[in-house]
Structure 1
Amino acid sequence: MNYFADLHIHSYYSRATSSQLNLEHLHSWGQMKGLRVIATGDITHPKWLAEMREKLVESAAGLYRLRDDARTTQREVPDACASDVHFVLSGEVSTIYKKDRVRKVHSVIFLPTFDAVEKLQKTLDRIGNIHSDGRPILGLDTRDLLEITLETDPRAQFIPAHIWTPWFSVFGSKSGFETLEECFEDLTPHIFALETGLSSDPPMNWRLSMLDAYTLVSNSDAHSPAKLAREANLFQTDLTYDALFNALKDKKSDAFWGTIEFFPQEGKYHMDGHRKCHSCTTPAETIKNNGLCPVCGKPAVLGVSYRIEELADRPPGYTPPDAKPFKSLIPLPEVLGEVLDVGPTSKRVEQLYHHLLQELGPELDILMKRSLSDIRSVGGDLVAEAISRMRDGKIEPIPGYDGEFGIIKIFKEGEREKILQQGSLFVRPDSNKVDTPNQATFEKQRRQKVQDVEREYGLNDEQRLAVEHRGTPLIVQAGPGTGKTRTLTHRLASLIETGDAQAHEILAFTFTNKAATEMRSRLEKLSGDDAKRMTIETYHAFGAAFLRQQESFFERDDKFQILSPIDSPVFRNELARASGEKISRSTLEKISFLKAQGHSPESAQEQMGERAKQLSAIFAHYERLLADQNAVDFDDLVNFPVRLLLQCPELRRALQARHPILAVDEFQDINKAQYELFRLLAITARDVCVIGDPDQAIYGFRGASAVYFNQFTHDFPQATSIRLKRNYRSAQSILSASLQMLGRNEEQHLWSAMSPEVKVHIEVSPTDRAEAEFVVHRIEQHLGGTTFFSLDSDRVDARGAAEEYGFSDFAILLRSRRLASPLMEALTRSGIPYQCIDDSASAPQVFAHFIAALLNPRRHNDAELFEEMKNHLSVADVHEFENALKELVEIDLPSIFDWLVKNSKQDEEIRFLKKTKELARAFGDNKDQFLDALMLQKQIDSLERADRVQVLTMHASKGLEFPVVFVIGCEDGIMPHYLPGQPLDVDEERRLLYVAMTRARRHLYLTRAKKRALFGKEQQQDPSRFLTAISAHLLQYEQRQYKRRKDNQLSLF
């Protein structure tokens, strides 16, 4: 059977598509076009799946037809066109991610059954947002998307979409790869076909020998039903899912005849240029201009012709021996528009179009098969002549560029009274005089690709002083972006290299597990295997390991468990029963604050007096309860080692002898107990180095204090002090604004060799929702658009985007998670993937407690554990839960995690459990070490630098950096942050904003809203007092009201 198939379209659930892209209109338009197989499009969208299940029934193995009672538009189909139309389940997915540089790739996925589609949706829904757009945007490696597809169903198929499109394709000039192997790696053999796109045709692709192994297919990528079949595929095989794809996989078979093509010049990315500059250039002209637009001087958007010239290894005109046939056509409405000298969507064209279909049959038959005499008898001489010229290739193309579709002219001047596009505003090349540059020219003048990588640099003078210093304790004050971690790791590597230290002697304290991992990684590059023999830990991890080595201590033994009472409802309930008092989170935070200062219940009451009597009583019950459960909290992990070292000189001397080389990162963030542990080790150490920045001390509410910077010089009066002043992270405008806000002298504190580039933006929005929309707009602009709609609707300006950003290059920083809701709604609505993180214990901490209870023989009461877990697990009642527990305690850790994943309710928790299962494997049978690592995890430690926008609290952003940063809610009451009944530390709040601002490398946005919904009501907001200290010349104010643009169908013309 011969039939045409259009295998890549969209539904009305995709952005910027026609509301008529429903199954009914696809069915009728497919008949009018002459298609027998049409893709459904958008299989990743849950609502579209529900509609397909309702209206489609299987017609052949893996293909579907519209139910008879759903064919409500069949009356619109001329009798001469009526035929059977079958649907294949397919959809396009957009992936934007970092792989050497930012990649933006579109792919089309095919599945044979609705169950397989549902399975794919469940997997992708855990990765990103599939509900906002029929073509979802995922922060996922395309190779991994292919793997997920293959794992979904053994008959699943995967085709890279429009492979040459500059912005969103596997070979695109803006964000593509040089080879398929770079993109798909080990899974490349699973790629069998490539979609060439509207802006190229088979002869252009034949010039690349690396594509010889692949079948070239062409599809319409229709955003409205009328655009179906503008490109299509001709098959000569059975009408089944497997037969269709087997034909594509066997290049030697005649089952796939070839393709129906657009004239490639009509494609909107055929040539180079700038749409807004009205400038279109050939590849040769672009090279002469060094890749720049001749009008504005910024980098031109390089089209498909340029990119093919760049990668081609064959001359124009080469035809492979096994090349499939193709035929270039002009859509019939465009032919009729030129004939009638009107637009292709005019009423006159519509009337003539339907008259021809009624008399002659489907559009593809008219364009390819019907005799010119038949066409002349129905449509007249001019229609017949136009189709004759099209069939012979006698056309005058005006090529498309930078998102502007080209125009294919059939009649020359003088052959019609008017010529379309007469007096065009666009400067376009004469297509008959297109220079073809040779390959040597491309090799010599190959455009330079922008890589967003860390610039390699040597140690500056101040860093070198710190690295080479010996003889006295060293305190290094290192502002943001001054190379703090680089300096510290080079210093430790230098100590080993010069023989001043053995690797096993080194103990380095970090503030987070993530920082410890980064430090180890850097030291492995500098010192090789020596790095593995160093002890690089957080205070809590070091303390836990130290206590595990003690047979008994303070009514505990070495099988103790680590608890987070603040995150454990069961512990709170037990404490309430023991104390007879209601236990709030605030009460537990106060106890933790006191313990961080080294207080016991008795000493706390002595210091705080009568007002602390009730708290001290609860504190005493708290301590008793932990001891009875053979448990410690996080504060005990530091306090108990300090007490043991003070009480046992032999233990202290042994530990001091083990680690005579001591280094501390983020010294400004340690509390009294941590400083005491450090001091006990440092007083006998051979080499001591601490590094940090008092201006970034932001954890006073936890008992941390920058006062220990001064305490260090008091306890070690011979210490040497060095200040690092050169910033390698941020543009100078960002540094200057940050220092002014903090009240510091710019020259004395920080300087950057990076040019200001742009001013710091201050955005004033009418509401918090408008503020969120502003953020989404700016992200899309910096990305160069997340979708074709963003580019084609002028929502972003593609000109000269020298910066290449992925989603993970953006951070939105919040003083409180209470501000997150409008942002998350706006990001979700726009299909932008994101993750929301704070610096608290890991969000699914409840699972950590549950696993600890399973593995610890003194686990909590089953009924109370059920109460804690019932909102997280799909278990009917406590009896079912108890039965499950009996089975779980008898199985291994991986099997426990499999059960939890199966029974968990929330996607975030499922991701946490899968990741934690991998963590468990690393510890083997050592359950105690695994539980320690699990309990000591914080959200920020598990931050995935996946391709998602990071929505972070300002505290959680510490230690991170991003090219583009938005600081949200720069308003009084938020910055500084007021909480009723809580003391306000204005200086620490100012330092916190300083930390947030200095996370930015290139672009910093400080935004505020005039009205904001807080605590259940809308409030008028005043600007933050902190911003008044910033000089006006560093700022760019923008005050606009953003209205979301309606997603309309885009016209081709």
Structure 2
Amino acid sequence: MNPCQKQAVEAGGYVLISAGAGTGKTGVLTLHFASLVHHHGIRPDQIMAVTFTNKACQEMRGRLERLLAMPLKSFWIGTFHGLCLRILKNHPESIGRRPGFTILDTKDQSRLIGKILKDLGGKTHHSPSYVLNIISQWKQQEVLPGQVKHFHDPLVAMAYTRYQEELFEMNSLDFDDLLSSCLYLFSQNPEILALYQKQFRHILVDEYQDINAVQYKWLKFLAVQCEGLFCVGDEDQSIYGWRGADVQNMLRFQQDFPGSAVLRLEDNYRSTPHILSAASHLIAHNQSRYGKVLRTAQNYGEKVHIQGLWDTQEEALFVADCILKAKAQGRRLSEIAILMRTSAQSREFEERFLVCRIPYHIIGNINFYERQEIRDFLGYIRLVHNDCDNLAFERIINVPKRGLGSMSLEKIHTYAKLHGVSLEEGARLLSQEQKVSPQLVLFLSQVKKWRQQASALSPMNLALEILHSSGYQTALEAQGIEGQARLDNVKELVQAMEPFHSLEEFLEHVGLLLEIRSNPGEESVTLMTLHSAKGLEFDEVFLPGWEENLFPHSRCLEESGNKGLEEERRLAYVGITRARQKSTISFCWNRKTYHGTVSSSPSRFIQEIPGKDTIIHLSLDKKVKKEQAYLSKGTQGSQFSSSAKSSFYSNSGSESNLQSGFQAGQRVRHEVFGLATVIHQNGDQVKVRFDQSGEKILISRFLKNAVFLIATFLGMI
């Protein structure tokens, strides 16, 4: 142990350990547990250790069993929910349940809420997952059924009431009830609370920055009389605000527990100096933190690479090339990760990796073209292209919900088989000869209309029409955060259709991609979102899509303002600190959306990383464009590669050749986009209007030490 770790392990009383990434915080918590037993005479059953995941719980228990040389299965080491369940099982009658009550899993919850919605007549308007997500949020905020009817959708409020009534009748609880019911138990039964307060002389909490309001309140109930409260966390890695975590719980620790101490762990054992310096300077722009500067005993390592690329296709190609080169130099694919802001970004990389035969796997999700919403929407495209595609018809006839369930489909099957036609044609014949659901008539009419439009619209515009008029977009939007993520994936699929001239061409492309499979047993690159990457580490990490509106994400800024910006910055910090040896950040000048191609600006987070820790490569390559400029940021001036110097650099070195400021109305020239007029300069940003390409924003930091021609060349930033 280093001196700071030793001080933390031996600390007594109420202590918060603010531990930076890679500083060994979980090990410190485990050693503190062992120290209480070995050196202070505390029995293991008098210590409660709380973790956030079952995996973390198992790892902690395994470490402690080796340190203490005794089995710990019966002791109080577990997740918040697991420990609450253990307490509730000892006192079921006090929470209105009978002994042997059950916990509903996600599928049972969905079936139950689906039945309730059907009874209330709202099944076609609200999906079970959407309603359960709202109910979960209410429970995490301690909002009871009777408290929501006046300020939310009455149907959802009624469903919440019925849901709780059904749980009571079934002698069941759901996952969120475990914490809220335990809070109720403690608040209504002081003698039971006193029993556990007396038992737990010491309480240890891991990942303290991630606790929500209910977990915080539960912890305070138990900790108010204990001899020691030992909490370990990193406020700079609090990235789950969207599911209730509140970094302020950690920041007000000393206020809530007077006389408590805050200790810092800043010695990192994972990453190189430049990676740590980049991360520390980036996160220093946040206000809601204790303040730490990560350091390492290493004195070597690469700078953080920042790569600007023409578009997302070039970005995927760049990453694939880097991976292939790293593999040729001996890097194991399992030690390489791509960490994305959104899951929709994976499509470009998956397609490129399949073509390049780079094995990959996705953590926290499934392959892009195998996601439910993608297969659903491809079903629409397949049916419009081929009216005999019975599998596509079966898949989408009731997606979104149209009241055309298994009985309707069985009737269509029978009729189609009787007449020897496809399911779609069978449904049309059936609707002509018998009275059928108006929803089926509407669906068949829409399919016919889309098929007619296929000859006049591009595949991408036709897909947009289907997305809107089918009701699929509205259905996904009604599913809350999860539905929005699925809709983002569908929009990514839609924009992927832009270069294709026909539905047939696009479907052939998808079919070929799906034919290329990686061997599940072989070593592979990891793809995941930044939210899924916390706690993991890799030798080499790629961080794509660092552009304004994507990262930080516009939705977070619109909904949460500066609070959302700080959480996005913490997410960037988590991404950078996953790398042991090499970290590469990339951004695109142009990003395709389902609205079309839009010009992008590098993320503000790139500007917040010091020049001494980075090497910037700015490329305009797009097959025919081969000009490329390389700029190494630094406090002593810019350094260019020899090829860039020969094309762009002025050998005179005169200060008159440097462009340090711009005036409104000034005419400038860009090597790619041509002539432009400066609109205004605001701090580090210069806004210009190109004669042919519209408005773009330049970052003056990239321009201040460059000759004018280079400045205009880089003006697309």
Within the alignment, does 1:768 sit opposite 2:294 as a pair? no
Alignment of 1:753-792 (within 5 A): 753-784=297-328
Q: Deviations over 1:572-619 (max 9, x none)?
A: 4533533747225555433322321222133456xxx64676654443
Within the alignment, does 1:831 sit opposite 2:354 as a pair? no
Whole-Å separation in 2 of the counterparts to 1:1042 and 1:485: 45
SS state of the match for residue 230, structure 2? Answer: strand
Is the alpha carbon distance of 1:747 and 1:726 closer, same or farther for their aligned partners in structure 2, counting shifts above 3 Å?
A: farther
Aligned residues: 476
Look up the match of 2:692: none
Is the alpha carbon distance of 1:777 and 1:966 closer, same or farther for their aligned partners in structure 2, counting shifts above 3 Å?
A: same
Look up the match of 1:208: none
What is the CA distance between 1:781 and its match in structure 2? 2.1
Is the alpha carbon distance of 1:1043 and 1:610 closer, same or farther for their aligned partners in structure 2, counting shifts above 3 Å?
A: closer
Choose 1 or 2 for highest CA Rg: 1
SS state of the match for residue 555, structure 2? Answer: coil
Aligned with residue 571 of structure 2, among 975, 992, 1012: 992
Whole-Å separation in 2 of the counterparts to 1:877 and 1:815: 38
Residue identity in the other structure for 2:77 = I
8 Å contact 2:140–2:212 — kept in the other structure? Answer: yes
Is the alpha carbon distance of 1:978 and 1:556 closer, same or farther for their aligned partners in structure 2, counting shifts above 3 Å?
A: farther
Aligned with residue 965 of structure 1, among 528, 536, 541: 541
Within the alignment, does 1:623 sit opposite 2:164 as a pair? yes
SS state of the match for residue 594, structure 1? Answer: helix
Look up the match of 1:577: 119
Whole-Å separation in 1 of the counterparts to 2:528 and 2:90: 37
Alignment of 1:536-685 (within 5 A): 536-552=77-93, 554-557=95-98, 558-564=100-106, 568=110, 571-572=113-114, 574-575=116-117, 577-578=119-120, 580=122, 582-584=125-127, 585-604=129-148, 610=151, 616-685=157-226
What is the CA distance between 1:714 and its match in structure 2? 2.4
Alignment of 1:639-1038 (within 5 A): 639-743=180-284, 748-784=292-328, 798=329, 805-838=331-364, 947-979=523-555, 982-984=559-561, 985-1015=564-594, 1017-1038=596-617
Residue identity in the other structure for 1:763 = Q
8 Å contact 2:122–2:155 — kept in the other structure? Answer: no
Whole-Å separation in 2 of the counterparts to 1:947 and 1:484: 30
Alignment of 1:94-133 (within 5 A): none
Residue identity in the other structure for 2:10 = E
Alignment of 1:23-422 (within 5 A): none
Identity in percent: 32
Whole-Å separation in 1 of the counterparts to 2:348 and 2:115: 34
Q: Deviations over 1:396-431 (max 9, x none)?
A: xxxxxxxxxxxxxxxxxxxxxxxxxxxxxxxxxxxx
Is the alpha carbon distance of 1:950 and 1:878 closer, same or farther for their aligned partners in structure 2, counting shifts above 3 Å?
A: farther
Whole-Å separation in 2 of the counterparts to 1:494 and 1:539: 23
SS state of the match for residue 509, structure 1? Answer: strand
Residue identity in the other structure for 2:335 = D
Whole-Å separation in 1 of the counterparts to 2:244 and 2:571: 16
Is the alpha carbon distance of 1:566 and 1:768 closer, same or farther for their aligned partners in structure 2, counting shifts above 3 Å?
A: farther
Q: Deviations over 1:254-274 (max 9, x none)?
A: xxxxxxxxxxxxxxxxxxxxx
Within the alignment, does 1:464 sit opposite 2:43 as a pair? no
Whole-Å separation in 2 of the counterparts to 1:770 and 1:622: 50
Whole-Å separation in 1 of the counterparts to 2:284 and 2:59: 32
What is the CA distance between 1:665 and its match in structure 2? 0.5
What is the CA distance between 1:773 and its match in structure 2? 1.9
Structural RMSD (CA): 3.7
Whole-Å separation in 1 of the counterparts to 2:200 and 2:356: 53
8 Å contact 2:197–2:225 — kept in the other structure? Answer: yes
Is the alpha carbon distance of 1:683 and 1:839 closer, same or farther for their aligned partners in structure 2, counting shifts above 3 Å?
A: farther
SS state of the match for residue 181, structure 2? Answer: helix
8 Å contact 2:14–2:261 — kept in the other structure? Answer: yes
Look up the match of 2:53: 512
Q: Taking structure 2 as the reference length, what is the TM-score of the superposition? A: 0.60
Within the alignment, does 1:503 sit opposite 2:44 as a pair? yes
Whole-Å separation in 1 of the counterparts to 2:66 and 2:336: 28
Is the alpha carbon distance of 1:839 and 1:682 closer, same or farther for their aligned partners in structure 2, counting shifts above 3 Å?
A: farther
Look up the match of 1:479: 20
Whole-Å separation in 1 of the counterparts to 2:574 and 2:617: 23
SS state of the match for residue 194, structure 2? Answer: helix
5+ residue gaps, structure 1:
1-458, 785-797, 799-803, 847-865, 882-943, 1045-1053
8 Å contact 1:808–1:946 — kept in the other structure? Answer: no
8 Å contact 1:565–1:588 — kept in the other structure? Answer: no
8 Å contact 2:266–2:293 — kept in the other structure? Answer: yes
Residue identity in the other structure for 1:546 = I
SS state of the match for residue 1023, structure 1? Answer: coil
Is the alpha carbon distance of 1:945 and 1:680 closer, same or farther for their aligned partners in structure 2, counting shifts above 3 Å?
A: farther
8 Å contact 2:211–2:245 — kept in the other structure? Answer: yes
SS state of the match for residue 675, structure 1? Answer: helix
Whole-Å separation in 2 of the counterparts to 1:827 and 1:553: 56
Is the alpha carbon distance of 1:1025 and 1:825 closer, same or farther for their aligned partners in structure 2, counting shifts above 3 Å?
A: same
Residue identity in the other structure for 1:718 = G
SS state of the match for residue 546, structure 2? Answer: coil
5+ residue gaps, structure 2:
373-393, 400-404, 411-519, 624-717
Residue identity in the other structure for 2:534 = K
Aligned with residue 522 of structure 1, among 38, 46, 63: 63
SS state of the match for residue 551, structure 2? Answer: coil
Residue identity in the other structure for 1:1022 = S
Whole-Å separation in 1 of the counterparts to 2:40 and 2:560: 50
SS state of the match for residue 583, structure 1? Answer: coil
What is the CA distance between 1:1043 and its match in structure 2? 8.4
Residue identity in the other structure for 1:998 = T
Whole-Å separation in 2 of the counterparts to 1:729 and 1:595: 38
Q: Deviations over 1:673-727 (max 9, x none)?
A: 1011111111122221001111111111111101112443223202122111111
8 Å contact 2:280–2:292 — kept in the other structure? Answer: no
Structure 1 runs (4+) greater than 6 angstroms displaced: 876-879, 1041-1044
Is the alpha carbon distance of 1:610 and 1:499 closer, same or farther for their aligned partners in structure 2, counting shifts above 3 Å?
A: closer
Is the alpha carbon distance of 1:1017 and 1:535 closer, same or farther for their aligned partners in structure 2, counting shifts above 3 Å?
A: farther
Is the alpha carbon distance of 1:965 and 1:502 closer, same or farther for their aligned partners in structure 2, counting shifts above 3 Å?
A: same
Structure with the higher fraction of residues in helix conformation: 2
8 Å contact 1:1011–1:1018 — kept in the other structure? Answer: yes
